[in-house]
Structure 1
């Protein structure tokens, strides 16, 4: 590996501006989503454009557009748009309700919370979105809490735990897409590497919820109607994604399959299908713009020496690949704490993580897994993150009260740390992309 350049710490000022604006506004107002993230990001870009007098303004603009228009960034945007369209169409044909109700219909009363966690895992890994899973399940979780003697915060913690399981693992999750694209590996390879690290955490989480609620009484007798045919779009996407079909084909096929099912059971009309597609694309517009602008900002920071400085700072104490892996974990965790968004944190930390993995010869499947594991863990424990804020709003309780019951994100971090220490799982040698 070639000798690293010293870098320039002042090049990180735009990133500091972004963090201060985003987090500072949240602290002052009590609402961490008061200032639109795109506004904070655009301000940071303006600062970056005003720096480095040795470079012409036209060159800076060129670097900004090169970073935002990188093939990996554009492909990521296309995948985001297709994932949004699939989620919208699947929800519009009733696939979410049927999938949720199917699980609730087959669970015994004393396993409702464990079942809620498992259902959230299944829904989130199929939908690829933790927030979407929470929106679908939080009302049901409240119903369970109201008709049992289970703590409301515990019920919401089970939903957040399951939602973060899929957010971390799902082939169509934006965090998985971002981790895979920034590290230059394949979706199916990252899934396999990630799965064996997080499976123990999921099993232990289910056991904990089972033990805590083993004696819970319930009077819940409500029926939960479902249609198996409406569950098929999620099953299809999950199966074809896991066996390694290209994600573009998986999402396009899932959209068409869900639409055909909706039309065949008269759940939607052709015009409804088109409208749902548009809604799905629109739901991903902010994230797509965010990805493009972040790509441009990171490129400007890199050109000004900021990436080299960070790489030197983080890897200074690292002497082995294990130290490099802890560096990747710490980097993405710190960014996630600052931005309260695991996708943003992966996109921001991904290029640097790639350089660290190359320097210490860390397998790209492993670096992608570490990025996703630690960002999802932090995100699932942030009281000012979208996930916990969503369930807290439904339950009308403090977000802080839910955090202690988010067992899976806690165990996810533990599993990630143990995987680094014990070098698990083992990989055969594979060339970096």
Structure 2
């Protein structure tokens, strides 16, 4: 091997294959047994831990040396920054929800949306809540019961309304500055959140506008539901607006989230939503709620470093390079790779973490802008996550519905996800300035 040639070893990918295989096999088996939320019964860090054990067992060298490589990957700066952002985002979501922010946002939207625009309205409400809170699952859980009630009262297709709810949730999750997918995509590709947001927005906004227009046309109820009064407090909406605006202005993410926590905490204390001690517990509960993704991110970083040292990622890059010829096919390869990984894991954040290193290498090799790479990782992970019959979003929504024969009754009405993928693919082939020449190494 030449001095500057990196080691390539396909067998080094086995630990990653074990990680994904254990997770996927467990989900399929439990699903066949009729277990609810089958793909979420096995904690993903445990599946990753099994892959780590395989790596230690099969890679050559002293145990202490392998441990050193693993810990170096766990403690890599971007991994640690990403993990800390997860904690702060969890705390903000927990505190703002506890002080009544989510309820106020939902009720505010339902107060001002005309009854004849229910489907389009819940799409917009879900998008705002998700982009403000960074969680699509939480948004689906909060909005779906209200959306179903409005659909029933207005004689509207309940599957369409729920599909609009999930679509709006995925729109916000994909763009939110505090979403775990955004955090993972930006930190692993070394880009600023505001830059990734702008790259995403150019694709997601047109897709959302097309979806909104279609929902206006085809989502009108047969009869208008009775007018209801929804109580809300505009003050409780302000922390979400603060986080969104401050993030777009480029304020440091830690400063943004700390300000959001303090803002929500002050409102909660002033309105009597919780005491000072309860506020502290809400912050800690937010930290605790992010433990799984925190641990997964850290140990996956360690596993990736071991696989990289053994030449697994270089082998994969060489194989992909035989198919990828230019920047367009490089971007398409990143999109396909992320989509397949998300289908296998049913977790968009996990898919991004698994694919991030090889995506970064492909980007460097073929001159793909890192902002673009982060955007593609997030878009395709979120788009597929929102149409998986065994994904959390579809499962939560379907669990709230009656007279449901198949999750595909909802999936076929998730228009936004399909439109988003179409716009993203079009952007790969028709974006201005696409360089068809391989980047110079």
SS at match of 1:395: coil
- Conserved in 2, the CA contact under 8 Å of 1:142 and 1:155? yes
> Cα deviations across residues 83-114 of structure 1 (Å, max 9, x unaligned)?
00000000000010011111100011110110
Separation in 2, partners of 1:324, 1:336: 18
1:163 aligns with 2:163: no
Number of aligned residues: 425
TM-score by length of 2: 0.93
Corresponding residue of 2:261: 255
Corresponding residue of 2:107: 101
1:44 aligns with 2:73: no
**Which consecutive aligned stretches of 4+ in structure 1 deviate over 6 angstroms post-superposition?**
none
User: What's the CA shift for 1:386?
Assistant: 0.9
Separation in 1, partners of 2:221, 2:153: 14
| Aligned with residue 397 of structure 2, among 366, 391, 396 | 391
| Aligned with residue 371 of structure 1, among 370, 373, 377 | 377
Task: Give 1:138-149 correspondences, 5 Å limit.
Answer: 138-149=144-155
Question: How has the CA–CA distance of structure 1 residues 3 and 336 changed in structure 2, closer, same or farther, with 3 Å as cutoff?
Answer: farther
Task: Give 1:123-272 correspondences, 5 Å limit.
Answer: 123-272=129-278
User: What's the CA shift for 1:36?
Assistant: 2.1
Corresponding residue of 1:20: 21
- Conserved in 2, the CA contact under 8 Å of 1:17 and 1:44? yes
- Conserved in 2, the CA contact under 8 Å of 1:175 and 1:346? yes
Corresponding residue of 1:431: none
User: What's the CA shift for 1:3?
Assistant: 7.7
Corresponding residue of 1:430: none
Gaps of 5+ in 2: 32-37, 436-441
User: What's the CA shift for 1:193?
Assistant: 1.2
Question: How has the CA–CA distance of structure 1 residues 107 and 260 changed in structure 2, closer, same or farther, with 3 Å as cutoff?
Answer: same
Separation in 2, partners of 1:420, 1:388: 28
- Conserved in 2, the CA contact under 8 Å of 1:357 and 1:364? yes
1:110 aligns with 2:111: no
Separation in 2, partners of 1:127, 1:4: 45
- Conserved in 2, the CA contact under 8 Å of 1:193 and 1:425? no
- Conserved in 2, the CA contact under 8 Å of 1:346 and 1:372? yes
> Cα deviations across residues 167-200 of structure 1 (Å, max 9, x unaligned)?
1111111111111111111111111111011111
Corresponding residue of 2:414: 406
Provide the aligned C-alpha RMSD in A: 1.6
Separation in 2, partners of 1:335, 1:4: 28
TM-score by length of 1: 0.95
Separation in 1, partners of 2:332, 2:55: 29
| Aligned with residue 35 of structure 1, among 42, 46, 49 | 42
User: What's the CA shift for 1:155?
Assistant: 1.6
Corresponding residue of 2:62: 56
SS at match of 1:266: coil
